């Protein structure tokens, strides 16, 4: 039963990832008084990329060919290890906060290798920017996760989500700052506003897009799909912590399964709405102001840790 639920949860995230991107794009278009494309367009885009031929620069090595599979494998692990549909079904070692953070960083590092391996000016520029942002946002990620772990007395994401789902919502208020910091991290880790513009191809603003600029065909499909999976998994995690209702917990009854499925869809839709609203109301920050954004995220995360420790002290 547990293995079946883990498999279903993983497939659910994989299936929902393109729809989440489609909803974000559709909502952004509506905010900008445009009709926008169908939310199902990303599915057809993936299929189209898988059917196209690949072009590989003669300057690239085996690293260029390995990167899409490592990045996709990293995103697939996040879909497995992050409790998005059900809580209490994963082992503590599989969803350990440090393991999940390390695997997410592994995907980012290999993406940087892919950008550098092509000897492209844009690729090297994007790789340099990505590592700079990652080095500044990682402390906020680990501090916010550590404060949530200390608050819930679990060092696994599955245990943290299970704790939030099993206690009254008002009792989790001391963890509010940590959750806000996690939202900052989510935007930075997934190349969203105000850190990056996922729709740009201008060399002055590219970060993520610059690293995948030389990829095409199935390789580009894997990289794009991996980024969508990562965003969906992290969005589901934050949504389950902010609104810990509806997630499937033991006993796994039939009606609870339907409620959890509906809650999963509603939470992702609300998360897509929030991201679309943020990206429609603010502008992208200049790269040289990124330290302000990441420092603010770290300060909020440290404040959240202080509140959690103070709560336990009293």
Where would I find the H helices in 118-216? 121-152, 157-166, 176-189, 208-211
Please give the residue that has the higher pLDDT: either 312 or 174. Answer: 174
Mean per-residue pLDDT over the chain, rounded: 91
Q: Which domain holds residue 246?
A: 2-313
Contact assessment for residue 195 and residue 231, using Cβ atoms and an 8 Å cutoff: no
Sequence-distant (≥ 6) Cβ neighbours of residue 30 within 8 angstroms: 36
Residue 202 has pLDDT above 70, yes or no: no
Lookup: tokens for 214: 């030389």
Q: How confident is the model at residue 155 (pLDDT cuts 50, 70, 90)?
A: very high
Q: Which pLDDT belongs to residue 149?
A: 95
The pLDDT tens digits for 135-152 are 999 999 999 999 999 999
Task: Report how many domains make up the chain.
Answer: 1
Provide the CB-side half-sphere exposure for 147 (13 A, CA).
30
pLDDT greater at residue 120 or residue 187: 187
Phi, psi of 217 (to 5 degrees): 60, -145
* Contacts (Cβ under 8 Å, ≥6 apart) of 13: 79, 82, 84, 85, 229, 232, 233, 236
Q: How many residues does the chain have?
A: 314
């Amino acid at each position: 039963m547990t293995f079946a639920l883990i498999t279903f949860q993983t497939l659910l995230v994989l299936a929902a990832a393109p729809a989440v991107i489609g909803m974000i794009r559709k909502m952004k278009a509506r905010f900008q008084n445009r009709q926008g494309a169908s939310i199902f367009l990303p599915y057809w885009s993936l299929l189209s990329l898988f059917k196209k031929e690949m072009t590989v620069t003669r300057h690239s090595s085996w690293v260029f060919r390995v990167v899409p599979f490592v990045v996709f494998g990293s995103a697939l692990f996040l879909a497995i290890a992050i409790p998005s549909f059900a809580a209490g079904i994963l082992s503590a070692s599989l969803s350990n906060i440090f393991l999940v953070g390390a695997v997410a960083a592994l995907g980012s590092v290999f993406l940087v290798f892919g950008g550098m391996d092509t000897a492209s000016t844009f690729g090297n520029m994007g790789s340099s920017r990505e590592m700079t942002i990652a080095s500044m946002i990682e402390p906020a990620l680990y501090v916010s996760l550590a404060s949530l772990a200390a608050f819930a007395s679990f060092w696994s994401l599955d245990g943290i989500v299970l704790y939030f789902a099993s206690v009254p919502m008002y009792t989790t208020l001391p963890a509010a700052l940590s959750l806000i910091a996690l939202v900052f991290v989510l935007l930075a880790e997934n190349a969203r506003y105000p850190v990056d513009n996922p729709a740009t191809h201008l060399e002055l603003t590219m970060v993520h897009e610059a690293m995948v600029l030389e990829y095409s065909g199935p390789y580009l499909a894997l990289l794009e799909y991996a980024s969508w999976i990562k965003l969906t998994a992290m969005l589901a995690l934050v949504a389950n912590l902010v609104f810990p209702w509806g997630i499937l917990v033991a006993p796994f009854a039939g009606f609870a399964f339907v409620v959890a499925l509906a809650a999963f869809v509603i939470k992702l839709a609300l998360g897509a709405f929030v991201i679309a609203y943020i990206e429609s109301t603010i502008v992208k920050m200049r790269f040289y102001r990124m330290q302000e954004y990441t420092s603010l995220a770290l300060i909020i995360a440290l404040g959240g840790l202080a509140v959690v420790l103070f709560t336990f002290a009293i």
